[in-house]
Structure 1
Amino acid sequence: MKVRYTLSRSLVIDRSWPFFLDLTVAMGLLAGFYAVLQIARYWLSGPVPEVVISQSPRMLPLYAFYSVVRIGVAYLLSLLFAVGYGYVAAYHRRVETLMIATLDILQSIPVLSFLPGVMLAMMSLIPSRQLGIEFGAILLIFTGQVWNMAFSFYTSLKSIPRELHEACTINRFSRWQRFWQLELPYSTIGLVWNSMVSVAGGWFFLMVCEMFPVGNRNFRLPGLGSYLQTAASTGNSLAMIYGLSTMIAIIVLTDQLIWRPIIDWSDKFKFENVEAAERVTSPVLAALRQSNVLGILHQRTFAPFSEYIYHLISRRQQRHEAEDKVEKSKMSSTVIAVIFAVLIAGLICFAAFKAILLLRHIPGSDFGNLLAGAGATFFRVNVSLLFAAAWTIPAGVAIGFNPKLARIAQPLAQIAASFPATALFPVILLALMKLGAGLGIGSIVLMMLGTQWYILFNVIAGAMAIPSDLREVARLFHFTSMQRWTTVILPGIFPFLITGLVTASGGAWNASIIAEYFHLKDQTLHTLGLGAQISAASDSGNFPVLLLATIIMALMVVTINRLVWRPLYKLAETKYRLEG
């Protein structure tokens, strides 16, 4: 009797589990729909550029909701841009060098350099709605998220094994099929881990993007970043604790509900012949795979739609196999490319002319100060990059090779990467000043806090992407630690490592605006550096100096790109590409 009762009870639990799972999924979809309505109502309301930020804990759920929406929308825009930009740069050799140099410049230009123009442009485009101000803040967050994802996708496309391209050619895949069945899957692991560090970067710059001065105006948007900045400026320690606790809770929930399931799902795209013995698993993904609601949605919407798209592509490819049509398409694409190039050249010439008119009012003494500041910032960027690489490379390999360690270290790394270093920096700065060090050394510490995660997350992705059979061969032949690092680990992670170093370098230049010019209570601490000069020019509304400092930074980044990063990218593409 007791055995029958136990079996029947377990049967009831098993049958009720899908019902509760489907109910949870349905409630989540309804909550998402309600959130869209609420954010649309707020964005379409009248513009309020200077919101009074309450420090009451009761406002934290609403502020956190606004910040999560901004970061989420900025991430989606970043993903679309990264995939499109990386694809064009990887497969169009005529513009590849220019596009990568441009990408390297843009990811190194500080957020404050974009800030005045972006906010004024958005408010002018949509003057009667809050959407203009909100979209301006979203674009600023976008500038802190997108570049490393674009570099990651570009690097992945350039390192796809030749035999996979040949297989697609033999099977006559269209560009659409090649993209969905080869290029995007092969790039998934790198995109996932760079997405995590991009979202972490969005949290890092949230305090700058939600509350900032432009000339004589102070923009304040309701959000978690403005809440933390207000609490920090007023010295409200309790509000800081509430805000940081809320942010950490959001990061942990995001890790468990989004990133961990995506990492588990992306493991199937690893390029290997032997399945790994250990892998990262997600109970949330396992539960979602049992949902009847999601299964029905997939069978009746996504699957038929994808089949319809592939059918249309197949028919279109058959119609365009004639040689004359191919030639016409080539001619039309060439004409479009020429027209586009002429338009871009015209815009560049117009912008250069306007810049020359703006720069002619700068006194000669400012040029010397900016060059000296550029040299000081260049030194700090490279020192912070060296110190960051010294610990992130071994730590990232250890996490990537050990799924059990990854389950613990991944959320901790996300919290640490997302933690606004500007909130921790006053404590670090005061401690360094007591030891006799000033902002010059403290700025290196802050640069590391903001940029080391780019290297760590890319190294983790590279270590996870190394095929299990290569690691198994190294174990069977009893490779020493040095042999494993020189023949398996470093060659395997090299493309990912270069991506991490490039984006970390750009992040260090970007972080210089905060590291070298810091508001501490009622005083402003600054040191010699290009970042400090950009921050000071932005605060005072000195747009000519702001433009000149940005140009100098761009020229330095282009030089480094040509002399260092481009040869390393070429080496990763040729010598260290994984082949079957």
Structure 2
Amino acid sequence: MSFRTHVKLSPKDTAPVPRAAVRAGVAGHRPQMPWVDMVVAAAVLVLLYATLRVGQGTTVSFTPGQDVHVSTDPARLPYDAARSLLRMFAALAASTVFTFGYAFAAAKSRRLERILIPALDILQSVPVLGFLTVAVTGFIALFPGSMLGLECASVFAIFTSQAWNMTFGFYQSLISLPRELDELSRSFRFTRWMRFWKVELPAGMIGLVWNGMMSFGGGWFFLVASEAISVNNQNYALPGVGSYAGAAIADGDLGKVGWAVLTMAVMVIGVNFLFWRPLVAWAEKFKNEQSEAGQRQRSVVLDLLRRSHWPRIIGRILRPAGHALARAGRVFGADDRRLHVDRTKQRTGDIVFGTVAGALTLWGLADLARYLNDRTGLGVFGEPLLLGLVTLARVVVLMVAATLVWVPVGVWIGFSPRLTRIAQPLVQVLASFPANFLFPLATWFFLKTGLDINIGGIVLMALGAQWYILFNTIAGAMAIPADLREAMDDLGVTGWQRWKRLIIPGIFPAYVTGGITASGGAWNASIVSEIVTFGTTTLTATGLGAYIAHATDTGDFPHLIAGVAVMSLYVVALNRLLWRPLYRLAEHRYAL
């Protein structure tokens, strides 16, 4: 596979410049601003104004312990929607920065990889409620007397539902970088800074965009939990669609739940049209292929931006800053770490690093065991270990069913740009829609049909976890070079042989990323899926998720810590025994 830089000139770039324009430039007269530039400028100004107006509500005074009242007046929904969107995009920005730093450190350092990747497994397995328990107390203490503390806690909770999937996906793209691109960067003596921005980030851009889209959907799923917080018998609430829906569900008002559902659908479709579809279409230029695909992704918003002069103007303004960062990157020198390795120093460093890391880990575990032994005794782990087996069975059933259903669908969508344009908004709505908005209907359905929540909980978990497999499969299918698919067509390879020779190897790295995040997402989703409530009716399934949710509501920290620790143990064990070997297989055998 040869490397090809995608620099395309549109017809208007190569067309002769009209004489009138030349005369205007010579005379020193500026041409009038095109209507496209005025539309883009107006849209940006409106966005900035709305952000400032909505952001004012994040710094109002707040006193812990004060009565919480969430208005369910439908007239407040536009403002609530804006507050929720602000939190979602703040969490997405934090997740992107975290992804770049964490995934890069794990992919580039053997020693850090041995700690960061298992730690990421644990972080992914810790439920959002587990993070909220600590985050609410910490951020309120950090911003006393201000609503900003609760806002930061809510953004942090959404961040924990977004960051892990994006980090796993980008880490996978870094460790499976095509060899030709790696050799090219070394032959040109790229610095680490240049290598990241010119080679590594473009190579992983398609997967990063689709994983970002899926992570954004994961944030919607936990919107109710992050905006209407119940910790240690204390209720906290923030203006937002999630808290609105939570209050409507608690009141048992299906009409107001319907307004929340409608608002959420409008928000998801709007974000998809204005943000994600342009990103998907733009990311296609980073596809590594020798022949251009016959059909490309299109976006009205992206076409509008490309016709505007503002991106080029902003690019010229920021160019000096880019040159300064590039010069600063040269301080680190060329990326030649693998060419000169002192094995003796490497082994010595590994021993020292392993000793320090092992000592810190043992100290932390001993301190945790001492705390639990003083409070409840170490026998507290017995019940969550048994309940974890029940939840594990639900996770396994979910993963098998999601793989059989969504992998073929994802390949079908990813191979057809025309179908992607039609299916992407639908898939985005389904994946982004908070499933717990539908839990009142699920409760009603379970009561009417007599379906046991222990079985119905699998369906509720699937609503929050199966989309990771679908989105990663779509991204993997879209990343398969068009020339490879055309070669298979020319050779007449169809049916199972096509799947065996092209599709499965092509999507396998992306599927493993989707599988590991879907597995962790299923465990996390069990927190809200094993207990469903509508009005005064509550259905509780047997499982570790219900155990953790109950401990969080009652403020039982020893049992909460035990439940979170056991869930982390199950997730890490599953990753070590299943997903990590598949990761290595994807890295060494199925990288393009």
TM-score (norm 1): 0.90
Confirm or deny: 8 A CA contact 1:193 1:458 kept in the other structure.
Answer: yes
Alignment partners' CA distance in 2, 1:96 and 1:414: 32
Compare 523-532 and 130-139 and name the one that shifted more.
523-532
| Cα drift, residue 419 of structure 1 | 1.4
Whole-Å Cα distance in 2 between the matches of residues 97 and 315 of structure 1? Answer: 27
CA shift for structure 1 position 310: 2.4
Number of residues of Structure 1 aligned to a counterpart in Structure 2: 556
CA contact (8 A) 1:400 1:406 kept: yes
Whether contact under 8 Å (1:359, 1:544) holds in the other structure is no
1:389 aligns with one of 403, 409, 412: 403
Specify the alignment match of 2:37 in structure 1: 22
Query: 2-side partners of 1:526 and 1:149: how far apart?
Result: 32
* Cα offsets for 1:85-124 (capped at 9, x unmatched): 1111111112213221111121122111111111111111
Matches of residues 171-570 of structure 1 in structure 2 within 5 Å?
Answer: 171-299=188-316, 301-314=317-330, 317=333, 346=360, 349-350=363-364, 352-362=366-376, 366-570=380-584
Distance 1:19 1:420 in 2: 41
What amino acid does structure 2 have at the position aligned with 1:23?
M
User: How far 1:38 sits from its partner (Å)?
Assistant: 2.8
Q: Which residue of 1 aligns with 2:174?
A: 157
Residues 136-151 of structure 1 correspond to what in structure 2 (within 5 A)?
Answer: 136-151=153-168
SS in 1 for 2:486: helix
Shift of residue 564, structure 1, vs aligned partner:
0.8
Counterpart of 1:7?
none
CA drift at 1:40: 4.4
1:137 alignment partner AA: S
Contact 1:271-1:465 within 8 A present in 2 as well: yes
* Partner AA of 1:349 in structure 2: W
Letter in 2 for 1:83: F
In structure 2, the partner of 1:61 is 78
8 Å Cα contact 2:91/2:159 also seen in 1: yes
SS at match of 1:218: strand
Following the alignment from structure 2 to structure 1, what is the Cα–Cα distance between the partners of residues 314 and 116? 39
Shift in Å, 1:264: 1.0
1:267-298 CA distance string (max 9 Å, x none): 01011111111121112111111112333222
* SS of residue paired to 2:375: coil
Instruction: Check whether the contact 1:148–1:194 (CA below 8 A) recurs between aligned residues.
Output: yes
Secondary structure (helix, strand or coil) at the match of 2:291 reads coil
The C-alpha deviation readout for 1:335-364, integer Å capped at 9, x for no partner, is 9x9799959965872574145313443267
Deviation readout 1:22-63 (Å, 9 max, x if unpaired):
222222222233234334433333125654211112111111
Q: Return the letter of the residue paired with 1:237.
A: L
The answer to whether the Cα contact below 8 Å between 1:18 and 1:290 also exists between their aligned partners in 2 is no
**Displacement of 1:311 after TM fit?**
3.9
Find the counterpart in structure 2 of residue 133 from structure 1: 150
AA aligned to 2:391 is T
1:366 Cα offset (Å): 4.6
- Counterpart in 2 of 1:5? none
Superposed displacement of residue 245, structure 1: 1.3
Q: Is the contact made by 2:121 and 2:572 (CA closer than 8 Å) also made in structure 1?
A: yes
Select 1:41's aligned residue among 56, 71, 80.
56
Distance 1:81 1:341, change over 3 A: farther
Is the contact made by 1:373 and 1:528 (CA closer than 8 Å) also made in structure 2?
yes
Q: Is the 8 A contact 1:498 1:568 kept in 2?
A: yes
Measured after TM superposition, the shift of residue 525 of structure 1 is 1.7
Decide whether the 8 Å contact of 2:439 with 2:532 is kept in 1. no
Q: Is the 8 A contact 1:208 1:225 kept in 2?
A: yes
CA 1:102 to 1:312, structure 2 compared with 1: closer, same or farther past 3 Å?
closer
Between 1:258-267 and 1:35-44, the stretch displaced more is: 35-44
3-state DSSP class of the match of 2:230? Answer: strand
Alpha-carbon distance in 2 for matches of 1:141, 1:351: 28
Query: What SS does the corresponding residue of 1:173 show, helix, strand or coil?
Result: coil
Q: Which residue pairs with 2:9 in the alignment?
A: none
Aligned residues of 2:128 and 2:524 also touching (Cα < 8 A)? yes
In structure 1, what is the Cα distance between the partners aligned to 2:500 and 2:550?
Answer: 46
Contact 2:268 2:433 in 1 (8 A): no
C-alpha distance 424-36 of structure 1, shift in aligned 2 (>3 A): closer
| C-alpha distance in structure 1 between counterparts of 2:190 and 2:252, whole Å | 61
- Select the residue among 69, 91, 96 that pairs with 1:79: 96
Q: 1:537 touches 1:545 (CA, 8 Å); kept in 2? A: yes
CA distance in 2, matches of 1:239, 1:432: 21
Uncovered stretches (5+) of structure 2, i.e. residues with no partner: 1-19, 21-29
Q: Secondary structure at the match of 2:307?
A: coil
| CA distance, structure 2, for counterparts of residue 120 and residue 312 of structure 1 | 40
1:47-126 equivalent positions in 2, closer than 5 A:
47=62, 51-126=68-143
- Between the aligned partners of 1:346 and 1:362, the Cα distance in structure 2 is 24
Q: Cα offset for 1:463?
A: 0.2
Tell me how far apart the structure 2 counterparts of residues 42 and 430 of structure 1 sit (CA, whole Å): 36
CA distance in 2, matches of 1:496, 1:214: 37
Instruction: Please report the RMSD computed on the Cα atoms of aligned residues, expressed in angstroms.
Output: 2.8
Q: CA deviation at 1:527?
A: 1.8
Cα contact 2:380–2:562 (8 A) shared by 1: no
